[in-house]
Amino acid sequence: MKTIIVISFFSVMMVLPSCDTLKQLTSEPTTAEISQALKQALEFGISEGADKLALRDGYFKSEYKIYLPAEAREVTDKLKFIPGFSDVENIILEKLNRAAEDAANSAKPIFVTAIKEMTFDDAFNILMGKQDAATQYLRFKTYNPLYDEFHPVIVNSLNKFNAIEYWAQAVNAYNKIPFIEKVNPALDEYVAEEALDGLFGMVAKKELEIRTDISSRTTELLRKVFAKQDRV
């Protein structure tokens, strides 16, 4: 009987967390720890998000698919009746999305650098805020410099898939249609903005996952900091 009790006691002790671990998880995180944990969550988000969007059809067959803006659809709608351009919309859509997929991995280091250099004005309120508060703060603080670095990456990918040249040919054919007001809708800036929206969307998904699913907190820092959010 004593042997059974001793074995049971040690079995329980093995599954219980150590006192140090419990103390770490229940102690109040410092402002520095909160800031670092938020950055860690954002870095995990962009790393996973960029990897997924960089896969074939990561944009093209996902909720982040890039569609043509209204002014560009005016061009494609008219060109459907022009020989050689009957399928122009589908062709250009695939080229734009393939370019975004190609550029996604290159976006990862750009985002990571921005995250590491970012400072939080009020890390505590961001931790205790909305479920995408850190992502929205990242967007607010870094969008313009991120766009400036990401835009040439997108242009390079668009050229790689011959999207810019193909679109120029389509616009040129459109402008030759009688009684049509000539247009020149550039797509590179639009695609850069849409591609960034997809990347921010993936970061927000990971932030939500870390906030709501304890098993997604894969580091001690994430567990400690986001446990405070759980206790509210």
pLDDT tens readout for residues 122-139: 999 999 999 999 999 999
Place of tokens 């400036």: 148
Q: Contact 69/190 with Cβ under 8 angstroms?
A: yes
pLDDT in tens, 176-191: 999 888 888 889 999 9
What is the structure's pLDDT at 9?
39
Cα dist from 212 to 8, 61, 163, 206, whole Å: 34, 27, 40, 10
Which pTM was predicted?
A: 0.84
Instruction: Return d(Cα 48, Cα 51) in angstroms, integer.
Output: 5
User: What is the helix (H) or strand (E) element at residue 40, kind and residue range?
Assistant: helix 31-53
pLDDT digits (tens, 9 = 90+) for 4-33: 444 443 444 444 444 444 444 458 999 999
Cα separation, 46 vs 204, in Å, equals 9
Q: Is the pLDDT reported for residue 2 higher than 50?
A: no
Q: For 77-100, how does the pLDDT look when each residue is reduced to its tens digit (9 = 90+)?
A: 999 888 889 999 999 999 999 999
